[in-house]
Amino acid sequence: MDRMRLTILAAGAAVALAFVVFRPRRGNAAMPQEGAPAPNFQGMMVYEGYTRPIKLSDYKGSKLVLYFYPKDNTPGCTKEACAFRDGFKKFKAAGVYILGCSVDSAPSHAAFIKKYNLPFPLLLDPDKKIATAYGAAKGIPILGLNRRITFVIDEHGKIVKVYPRVDPSTNPGEILSAYGATPLATSSPLATPAPTATPAKHRHHVEQEEEPDQ
């Protein structure tokens, strides 16, 4: 009888542990919703072979696609990055910036960008503060990786679209269809050149040629 009771208790404990480990997790219950101000952030990014400072306010006056993904060089994340790369010319023409974010290191981001010729920056978030603010942290808790989620932020820093369930192959095309035909809004009556990948203030006086259109 005691042996049977121990067996039942062990089986129950195993089921409970499996539920805790493998049940779907939300990165953050307070994930910002459409219409809310985008959570502010500042940190570092990898772009054009350099690690540079970045903050959300750098993109004021332009639309920004901020997408969170689990890990560099994995199949789904590579598909997603390359899809953004392939649509980059149209995003650029519409004045829409693209910024990816994962928990990977600067060398990992640099290698990923170089390998696939990505023309946009990748945000560094080693402590997951940015991912937590956007509800993207702990998407794969056992590995400590982000969930895959995409935000579109408008010229005034407001979230206009959230994609909480992302198909990495098709989501860039969805965003391009919805926002790629909208011209860049500016507060100045003067013509504003379409961006290359990041606002000019990111270049830090480093003269580099513009990336080839994909």
pLDDT value, residue 58: 94
Answer yes or no: is 158 within a domain: yes
Beta strand pairing call for 159-163 and 63-68: unpaired
User: From residue 81, how far is each of 32, 39, 84, 203 by CA, in Å?
Assistant: 23, 23, 5, 22
Answer yes or no: is 11 within a domain: no
Q: Is the pLDDT of residue 201 over 80?
A: no
Among residues 167, 184, 155, which one has the least CA distance to residue 67? 167
Give the containing element (helix H, strand E) for 108: helix 106-116
- How many structural domains does the chain have? 1
Give the CATH number, domain containing residue 125.
3.40.30.10
Domain that holds residue 39: 26-181
Q: Which of 77, 96, 137, 197 is catalytic?
A: 77
Answer yes or no: is 195 within a domain: no
Answer yes or no: is 145 within a domain: yes
Question: Sign of the CA dihedral 125, 105, 101, 212?
Answer: positive
Q: Is the pLDDT of residue 46 over 70?
A: yes
Answer yes or no: is 80 within a domain: yes
Whether 77 sits among the annotated catalytic residues: the reply is yes
Q: Over the stretch 49-66, which tens digit does the pLDDT of each residue have?
A: 899 999 999 999 999 999
Answer yes or no: is 49 within a domain: yes
Q: What is the mean pLDDT of the chain?
A: 78
